[in-house]
């Protein structure tokens, strides 16, 4: 065979192989296109990764399916733990006290000023030589200031002003005895002369008001005339002798001098002593009595009446 014939055969064989390859390639491309259109094409690289993930999930699913009872128990335990945790939180909320708001401190200006009876200073206001027309004015002033006084009265004055006497008793003031004559020579003539005057005064008071008083104040005070023999006799009849420790000297004062004097004596008086103020049923006293009452109010004094049971105050006998 000649070389020309071999060449022709070779070319023909190559042609046959080319068309055979081309036909096969076109067939594969068509298959791929069909697979893409049918959404069935699988990328070899991607398919390898995606297959590994489902494998793990499949193993987990198989493990869950292998022990469903254990899975159920785990779920119940988880739910129980959650309930206990919530309950614990609620209990903790109940136990924890709510925060208390801090109160703002009360300043000195805001602090309420509450004054009890025990914190006020007791004082006895006493009036001698009534009752008379001036006594009514004294009673009006005492009522205005919600105050009380004790009146040591003369027997003739009680008979001359019975309505004023009854008002004194009705308005709960103290009542005491001051004798009959208010005369030094007559009253202190003898022990029994003094006693007779006080008993007469006592009987008249009881007759007109029904009140029996044992409170006595002798004319001009117990010193220097009311000696030990007088006191001993009066003690036998349960009389209580009362003098004073604040002498207003209102009977000898002009204007408001007696008020200033009383205030000065109150400030000098020992704090352990209860003030017993001596005044009289007279016009000059009434005129300036409101000024004294205002001072007592502003300085927290509490007026009280003298009663039969009150511990008496009197001058000490000179040795």
pLDDT along the chain (319 residues), means of 10: 69 73 56 49 43 46 49 57 52 45 41 48 98 98 98 98 98 98 98 98 98 98 96 98 98 96 97 96 98 98 98 88
Task: Output the CA–CA distances (angstroms, integers) from residue 285 to 92, 235, 255, 291, in the order listed.
Answer: 76, 33, 9, 11
Q: What is the pLDDT of residue 231?
A: 98
Q: What is the pLDDT of residue 13?
A: 74
Can you tell me whether residue 240 is helix, strand or coil?
Answer: strand
Q: What is the pLDDT of residue 25?
A: 54
Task: Output the CA–CA distances (angstroms, integers) from residue 120 to 24, 301, 303, in the order listed.
Answer: 128, 6, 10
Can you tell me whether residue 6 is helix, strand or coil?
Answer: helix
Q: Pick from 110, 100, 160: which is nearest to 130 by CA?
A: 160
Q: What is the pLDDT of residue 90?
A: 47
Q: What ranges do the domains of the chain cover? A: 1-64, 121-303
Q: What is the pLDDT of residue 142?
A: 98
Cβ burial 84-103 (10 Å sphere, 16+ → b, else e): eeeeeeeeeeeeeeeeeeee
Q: What is the DSSP letter of 177?
A: E
Please work out, in degrees rounded to the nearest 5, the angle formed at the alpha carbon of residue 136 by the alpha carbons of 263 and 283.
Answer: 55
How many angstroms separate the CA atoms of 136 and 149, rounded?
Answer: 13
Domain 121-303 indexed as CATH 3.40.190.10: no
Q: What is the pLDDT of residue 318?
A: 73
Please work out, in degrees rounded to the nearest 5, the angle formed at the alpha carbon of residue 311 by the alpha carbons of 310 and 312.
Answer: 105
Q: What is the pLDDT of residue 8?
A: 67
| Residue at token pair 């509490």 | 302
- Biggest CA–CA distance in the chain, Å, is 200
């Amino acid at each position: 065979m000649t070389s020309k014939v071999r060449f022709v055969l070779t070319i023909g064989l190559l042609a046959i192989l080319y068309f055979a390859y081309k036909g096969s390639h076109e067939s594969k491309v068509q298959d791929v296109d069909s697979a893409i259109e049918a959404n069935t094409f699988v990328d070899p690289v991607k398919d390898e990764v995606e297959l590994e993930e489902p494998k793990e999930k499949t193993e987990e699913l198989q493990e869950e399916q292998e022990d469903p009872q254990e899975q159920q128990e785990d779920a119940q335990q988880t739910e129980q733990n959650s309930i206990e945790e919530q309950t614990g939180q609620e209990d903790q909320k109940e136990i924890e006290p709510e925060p208390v708001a801090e109160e703002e401190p009360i300043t000195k200006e805001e602090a309420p000023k509450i004054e009890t009876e025990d914190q006020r200073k007791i004082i006895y206001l006493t009036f001698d030589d009534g009752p008379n027309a001036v006594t009514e004015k004294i009673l009006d002033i005492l009522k205005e200031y919600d105050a009380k006084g004790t009146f040591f009265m003369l027997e003739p004055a009680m008979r001359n002003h019975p309505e004023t006497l009854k008002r004194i008793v009705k308005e709960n003031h103290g009542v005491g005895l001051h004798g009959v004559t208010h005369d030094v020579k007559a009253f202190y003539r003898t022990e029994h002369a003094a006693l007779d005057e006080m008993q007469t005064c006592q009987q008249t008071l009881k007759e007109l008001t029904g009140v029996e008083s044992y409170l006595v104040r002798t004319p001009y005070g117990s010193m220097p005339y009311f000696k030990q023999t007088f006191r001993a006799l009066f003690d036998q009849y349960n009389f209580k002798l009362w003098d004073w420790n604040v002498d207003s000297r209102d009977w000898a004062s002009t204007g408001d001098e007696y008020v200033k004097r009383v205030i000065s004596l109150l400030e000098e008086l020992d704090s352990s002593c209860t003030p017993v103020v001596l005044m009289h049923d007279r016009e000059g006293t009434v005129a300036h009595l409101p000024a004294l009452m205002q001072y007592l109010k502003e300085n927290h004094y509490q007026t009280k009446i003298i009663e039969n049971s009150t511990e008496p105050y009197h001058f000490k006998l000179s040795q």
